[in-house]
Amino acid sequence: MTAIRQSTTQILPAAHAGKVTAADYNAFGDAVGKQVTFLVENCKLPPEADAQLHLIVAELVEGVEAAQGKRGDAKRAAGVVQIAQASNAYGKYFDTAAGGPSSCLTESSTGFRGTEGRQGSNRPPSEFA
């Protein structure tokens, strides 16, 4: 997830300013897509943590598709914002300092914070957007 956050942090200001080319959006989407694939293929989590991670992954995939223009060129910047928001949600549910899914190789020490007390959408207010 660190790589996704770094990529998002780099492109987001230019996306807000309307200065990102289609090629840049596509490259960003490819990079995020590769990280999402790694998460899905390598994370071995307890059921509750796995379910929460898959909600975040779904948001990331939707954001990648939008950033790559699969929902129209006007939605590309919104895709970057959606990825930023999903990355923020990840931090709400997982503590990477405790070995969260960024170190997705074992079930022990998942860093999962749980979902108790959460109401409404899984999308928290954006720290990036």
Tell me the pLDDT tens digit for each residue of 8-52: 999 999 999 999 999 999 999 999 999 999 988 888 888 888 899
Q: Between 108 and 116, where is the model more confident?
A: 116
Residue 1, C-beta contacts closer than 8 angstroms, at least 6 positions apart: 35, 39, 87, 90, 94, 96, 100, 101, 102
CA distances from 110 to 35, 36, 51, 60 (A): 18, 17, 13, 20
Whether the Cβ atoms of residue 66 and residue 76 lie closer than 8 Å to each other? yes
pTM assigned to the model: 0.77
Q: Please check the confidence at residue 118 and state whether its pLDDT lies above 60.
A: no
Question: Distance (Å, rounded) from C-alpha 82 to C-alpha 96?
Answer: 20
